[in-house]
């Protein structure tokens, strides 16, 4: 597989749809962006660079992601807030096994009621993307954040 303009557009569309899903609060749809055995991980840059396993969130497989969605929508109590993602253009490469390797910068802003928006999380998505059932899906989505601290707690995916 080669990096055709159509493939580049399809990957950019995947990132745009992913961000829109989260920004719109459609969390029940979020696990469908991943392959059945997909891995979603939110990890500090320091730990990622040193290949350390400690992560803020690490979900392996769609069932764990669905469980997280149940927590978000049914059991976790928190002050509501809105997120907005700003996602750059991905840098892409295709491996010999046709897996797409992508890295893209992101910034997530958070707005709470009666408060100004704040920069919540900034970093880089380091992803592996595969086709599953004819659609592009994330096999690995590592959200490698540059912040030293995450304000309060992380409820929603980034």
- What digits encode the pLDDT tens for the residues 88-140? 999 999 988 889 999 999 999 999 888 889 999 999 999 999 999 999 999 99
CA dihedral 52, 120, 60, 95 (to 10 degrees): -80
Q: What is the pLDDT of residue 136?
A: 97
Q: What is the pLDDT of residue 2?
A: 84
Q: What is the pLDDT of residue 152?
A: 72
Neighbours of 106 (CB within 10 A): 19
Cα four-point dihedral sign 11, 57, 109, 45 = negative
Domains delineated in the chain: 5-145 (3.10.450.50)
- The counts of H helices and E strands in the chain are 3, 7
Q: What is the pLDDT confidence band of residue 144, given thresholds at 50, 70 and 90?
A: very high
Cα four-point dihedral sign 68, 48, 52, 77 = negative
CA terminus-to-terminus distance, the chain: 29
């Amino acid at each position: 597989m080669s990096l055709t303009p159509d493939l580049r557009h399809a990957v950019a569309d995947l990132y745009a749809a992913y961000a829109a899903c989260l920004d719109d609060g459609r969390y029940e749809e979020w696990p469908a962006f991943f392959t059945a055995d997909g891995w979603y991980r939110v990890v500090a840059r320091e730990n990622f660079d040193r290949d350390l396993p400690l992560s803020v969130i690490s979900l392996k497989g769609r069932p764990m992601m669905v469980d997280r969605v149940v927590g978000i929508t049914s059991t976790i109590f928190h002050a509501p807030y809105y997120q907005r993602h700003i996602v750059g253009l991905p840098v892409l490469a295709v491996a010999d096994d046709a897996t797409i390797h992508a890295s893209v910068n992101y910034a997530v802003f958070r707005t709470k009621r009666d408060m100004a928006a704040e920069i919540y999380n900034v970093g880089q998505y380091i992803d592996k993307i595969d086709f599953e059932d004819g659609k592009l899906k994330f096999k690995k989505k590592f959200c490698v954040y540059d912040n030293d601290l995450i304000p309060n707690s992380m409820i929603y995916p980034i």
